[in-house]
Each structure stands twice: as C-alpha cells, then as structure tokens.
Amino acid sequence: MNVVVLGAGSWGTAVACLLRDNGHDVVLAARDHDQVAVINETGRNPRYATGADLRGIAAAAIDAAPIAGAELVVLAVPSRVFGEVASSLPGDSPILSLTKGLDPATGARLSTLVRGRPVAVLSGPNIADEIVRGLPAAAVVASDDLELAVRLQVAVHSALFRVYVSDDIAGVELCAAAKNVIALAAGGADGLSLGDNAKAALVARGLAEMRRLAESAGARPDTFAGLAGMGDLIVTCWAPTGRNRRAGELVARGATAEEAATEIGQVVEGLTTAPVMRDLAHRLGIELPITEGVCAVLEGTPLTDLVTSLMRRAPTTE
C-alpha cells in the first residue's frame, strides 16, 4: 500500500518502520520542516525514536504530504488536535488511529470524530523504542469494519510484531485512554516510594476502573484482560521510559504538571485525558476514585492526601 503516517513522534516513527519493513511505500509527515529535512538527509529522526533506521521512508511536511493518493492514512497526532486533523484530510481512504486519548472538547472516543471513511485503531503494550530496536511485541487492531481490521492486521503483522483483531473498538479505545491516567497514579506511587505491594494494588484497582468505564459504554469484558487492557496497563505503569508513569513520578517529587511535561519533552496524554475521563464518568454516573484522585492532585491536592483518602475508603467486595 501507499501509506502516509501523520505525526513523526516516537510511535508514528515506529509504526512507519513496521509498515516499511512489510513492503509498503511509506511517507512520514511532520509539522517541522527542519525535522523533515534531517530525516531525508540522514535517515534518522532527530527528535524521537532516534535509533530508528528510516532509510526507505520518505519524509514530508504535513501540508505537502500525498494524503489524497494514500491507500491508508495513519494518525499519530495528539488527542487535542485529532478531530481537527481527521476532518481536514482529503480523500476517503481508511484511517488507522495510533492516538490513545479522548477528545478534550467533548469526551468522545477519537474514532467517532472520523466522518465519511472507514476507521480502525491500533493499541497494546507498545513501547516505541523497543519496537524500533527489533524487540518482539504484540498489539490489537480494532474496528467496527472487521474486513478493514483484518486487512490492517495483514499490513502490519510480522514475526516481531504480532497483531490480533478485535471488533470491540469502544473497549480498545477506552482502555487506551484510561490506562494513561492510571499510569500517572502509578508513577506517583513510585515517586513516593510506596513499594511494589501498593503499586500492584493500585494497578489492579485501576484495571477495575477501566472496566467499569468501558462496560458502561457497551464494551466487552474480555477486552480488559487482553492486550489493549491489562497488557497496555502493565507496560505503561512499569516501563521506566513511559511518559505518563514518569510524569506522575515527577509530580510526586514536587513538579507541576506543566513542569513534568516540559521535562519529558513529549506529549503526556494522561494529563489531558484525566479531567476528560472524570467528566465522562460523572455523565455516566459511575465512580472512578483513582481518576478523581489524579485530577485532584493535578489541581493542587497533595499526593499524600490522596493516598490517605484512597486507603480510608469504606471496605467492600472485589
């Protein structure tokens, strides 16, 4: 296929490599013209996934990328601009979303912002730097259009990147958004040195929150035990390089959310998603105590107060 990947961050760069390695013609599009020039001149991304060999991948500025003639458009852009970018694309070729978040303006799942063309999402425990180093990984591609999901599975699947198919796009998207918020809390536990018992309990209860949220939106329970649910949650909460976990750790050690994002130097989706997910839970009438707590900390509540309040919640059944 002729593929355009919009967004030359770490994950967009990694997926561009996966597609190139499977024989597709890939254009990697970035906003920064200097970044585009360096990629074309050196075969390396100067900012993200710097170890990736990009030879055989053409780089282009987003406003000059051959989107109209692409057979597949891959969106690896921040959630805050996803709807704007998706609605401005020419043509009617399918979209594969790599973005893990919710629309900040409406709380909607990002795939629902795509109009007039098929859409699928790719999610799972996928640390970009490991993938560009050739380490084995797995993911799930989800779509309401099962035929499209299977075609994309074939397009991306390899001996090092195993891809499964799902038709539970709501569950996959909500897991992908929620796990970043739980990872902020897990990073906070690391920053306070609360220990592995506390962190494991937090992650397990975080998975329960993810399930409660997604089931209220009609998702299937088995999605949460899979790659998009438990798999992605585990790696996001434990990987040392995970942006959301690292942001939570920095906040626990005294940084503001803005300072943490600046130090990390990449988009930290959990910081955007947390208040959106809290508001969505209020509309759905469900309890997400960890998410509520993360929002309270981001708004100024001391993290130690959050730990105390969570531990003092009334005991209940699991």
Active-site residues, by number, are 179
161 within 8 A of 137, measured Cβ to Cβ: yes
Segments of the chain assigned E as strands: 2-6, 25-30, 58-61, 72-75, 95-97, 119-123, 137-142, 161-166
- Residue 113's contacts (CB-CB under 8 Å, 6 or more residues apart) are 82, 83, 86, 87, 103
Tell me the C-alpha distance between 207 and 144, whole Å: 24
- Nearest CA-CA partner of 302 in 269, 262, 253, 259: 253
Name 166's bridge partners. 142
Name 2's bridge partners. 25
Tell me the C-alpha distance between 98 and 126, whole Å: 11
Angle at CA 265, nearest 5°, toward 27 and 45?
30
Side chain identity at residue 314, one-letter code: A
Please give the backbone phi and psi of residue 49, each rounded to the nearest 5 degrees, phi first.
Answer: 45, 55
The length of the chain is 318
